[in-house]
Structure 1
Amino acid sequence: MTALRKLLDFLYVAAGVVAALCLIAILSLIVIQMLARWTGEVFPGAPNYAGYAMAAASFFAFANALGRGAHIRVSILLNAVPTRMKWFLEIWCFGIGAAIAGYFSYYAYNFVYWSWKFREISQGQDATALWIPQSVMVLGGGLLTIALLDNLVQLLLRGEHRIVRDTIGGHGE
């Protein structure tokens, strides 16, 4: 079980690092596009690539953000109810969240599959095969599903989830 825990924690952190790198890529694309305009050059597809990087940054950050307590939670309600009720509400939330994320991931996979099968390309100057940037939805959504199930299992087996706030001055949930 320790190896699985280490693997999951590594995946969550790695996804956060990939999301941060995507944000750096967006900044780089914007700067390169500005320089290209100033010099009279054209960087075809730069806005599309920045959009792909933004989608990747968002989807890869989901699981990492969940573990760090950065997702919006209804803490006011959870802190106002008795401990047993809080436990049931958290089980319900993690269960519903995992079901929705799993549902999304399943249909995102179908979406990517059909884009690949029909060889769809973007309408912009980049003419990118759309299944490539769309794949981040499947990976990020799948990782979020795993993270939600991970917290649900921890809650059921240990009585508490693994979400920890890491903000300055932040208190545990």
Structure 2
Amino acid sequence: MLRRIYGWAAVAAALCLVAILVLVCIEISGRVFNGIRIAMGMDTVNATVPSLAEICGYLLAAATFLALADTMARGVHIRVSLVLEHLRGRARLACELLASLAALGAALSCAWGMGRLVLKSWHFGDVSAGLVPVPLALPQAVMFLGLGLLCVSLLDRTIAIACGRAAGVSGAAEPMGE
């Protein structure tokens, strides 16, 4: 069930990237259209996307944070395993567990801070400074959701490691310490 939730979050992340593509293409098309109108001696029209950079920034943040849990569950995060590849048995298990606990602690701290920021932004009614006043609690809430899913994924991984298994790239538990 967790893999399915992570997968849906990854699909939402991909849709955010597609939305960025569409918005940028609309903006470029509007500029080309105005360039043609200027070349023909015509007046320009307002063919821009208001607050494009700001909205694309929010979509990029959403895509980044929503993809975290799925990439962790699939084992495709960048990992520095220089030390781990030289360890076997209990030493490897201990290092894996320590690294997983540290990552979980960092993710929980980030999620806690983002949750507090969402509540403050909601309470004060903070909006963006661009032409389109976006309530800041909305993109922050999506980031909080992504961090929350990452915390669940890291907790799942930590439990698997503590039980003597490590989540492989395929998602299947693999015995450790061979």
TM range (shorter): 0.7 to 0.9
- In 1, the alpha carbon distance for the partners of 2:101 and 2:168 equals 15
- Equivalent residue for 1:163? 168
Equivalent residue number for residue 144 of structure 1 = 150
Aligned residue for 2:131? 125
Range moving further from structure 2, 94-103 or 70-79: 70-79
RMSD: 1.6
d(CA) in 2 for partners of 1:116 and 1:36?
34
Shift in Å at residue 165 of structure 1? 6.3
Runs of 4+ in 1 over 4 A off after TM superposition: none
- 1:14 matched to 2:8? The reply is yes
Structure of larger gyration radius: 2
User: Quick one: distance in 1 between partners of 2:165 and 2:59?
Assistant: 34
Corresponding residue for residue 39 of structure 2: none
| Alignment partner of 1:53 is 2:68 | no
How many residues of Structure 1 are paired with residues of Structure 2 in the alignment? Answer: 160
Q: Which whole-Å CA distance do the structure 2 matches of 1:22 and 1:66 have between them?
A: 19
Question: Normalising by structure 2, what TM-score?
Answer: 0.85
Partners of 2:26 and 2:67 in 1: CA distance: 25
Shift of 1:10: 0.8
Could you tell me which residue of structure 2 aligns to residue 68 of structure 1?
74
Whole-angstrom CA distance in 1 between matches of 2:96 and 2:162 = 10
Structure 1: how far apart are the matches of 2:146 and 2:79?
20
The question of whether the paired residues in 1 share the 8 Å contact of 2:75 and 2:167 is answered with no
1:23 aligns with 2:17: yes
Q: What TM-score results when the alignment is normalised by the length of structure 1?
A: 0.87
1:38-117 residue pairs with structure 2 within 5 A? 38-40=32-34, 41-117=47-123
1:50 counterpart SS class: helix
Question: 1 CA distance for matches of 2:65 and 2:114?
Answer: 12
**Aligned-partner Cα distance in 2 for 1:148–1:163:** 13
User: Residues 110-164 of structure 1: CA distance to partner in whole angstroms, max 9, x if unpaired?
Assistant: 001101110011011111011001111210111101100000111112x122131
Provide structure 1 residue ranges, at least 5 long, that are not aligned to the other structure. Answer: 1-6, 167-172
